[in-house]
Amino acid sequence: MSGNIELLNTTLAAAKAADRAALIAYLPAGFPTVDGGIDAVKAVVAGGADVVEVGLPHSDPVLDGPVIQTADDIALRGGVRIADVMRTVREAYEATGVPILVMTYWNPIDRYGVERFTAELAEAGGAGCILPDLPVQESALWREHADKHGLATVFVVAPSSQDARLATITAAGSGFVYAASLMGVTGTRASVGAQAQELVGRTRATTDLPVCVGLGVSNAAQAAEVAGFADGVIVGSAFVKAMLDAPDEAAGLAAVRSLAGELAEGVRKR
C-alpha cells in the first residue's frame, strides 16, 4: 500500500489556491491515552486543522520544550509503543481523511528498522515523516524507503541555516519544509518574530516546496501574522497545553477543538 504524500501535496495546494495558509496541528500519540490521543486528533480536525502531525513520544526530545516533554512523559509512562503510533495514524486518517504525518526523532526508527517503519506507516495511511534530528547527508536510506512507500520526508530548517545548507536540505525533502521560527525548543511565545519571515524568504529562494512555520504560534493573531508570509502554520505546544490544563479529557477535547477553530480563522485572516 502506498502512503499519502499526494494527499498532503493536494491539501497544501488547495489551501494556497484558496489564498490562505494551511493549519497544521501537532499532538503526541498516547497522550493522555492512546484512545484519548486519537480523539484529540479528531477534535483538532473538526475544529479546522488541515494537516496533523502525530508525535512519537521519545525520552530525549531535544527539539521539544517542557509542555510537550510533559505530554511525552505521560505517554511513555502509559506504555505507548510504535504500534500505538501507527494505530493513531490509521484511526485518525480513517476518521478524518486529512494528511497525517509522524514527527519523530531518528533513534526509534533506526531501532525499529527503516523498511518496517515506512511500510507500516504507509499501510496505516500516513502521509510522511518530520525528522528534526536526521542530518540530510545521512538520510539516503530513509529517503529511499520513504519514496518507495509514497511518504513525504520533511526536514527542519532554522534561522541559523546558511543559504547553501538550505538548498541542500530542500533539495532532499518532499511534502513541505518545516521552518523553525527561532533558535530554541518548542513552546508558546509572546511573539513569533521577524526571524521567521526572513527564513521563509531565504528558504523559498531554494525550493518550490511549501514552507510551513512552527515553534511559538499559540493564538489566532500569531497564526494570522505567520500566515501572511508562510504556506502553513504549525501549532503544537498550545494544543498540548490546552489538554494538560483541562480538568478532564472531555474538557480537553473541547478546548483543542475550540483552539483549532480560532487558529483556523486566524490563518484565513492573513
Q: Could you list the active site residues?
A: 53, 64
SS (H, E, C) 151-180: CEEECEECCCCCHHHHHHHHHHCCCCEEEE
Find, among 96, 75, 74, 92, the residue nearest to 30 by Cα: 75
CA distances (Å), 216 to each of 122, 130, 185, 238, 239, in order? Answer: 30, 18, 9, 9, 12
Find, among 43, 222, 34, 141, the residue nearest to 55 by Cα: 34
- CA dist., res. 104 & res. 54, Å (int): 9
Owner of C-alpha cell 495558509: 21
Find, among 265, 189, 266, the residue nearest to 224 by Cα: 266
Neighbours of 41 (CB within 10 A): 27
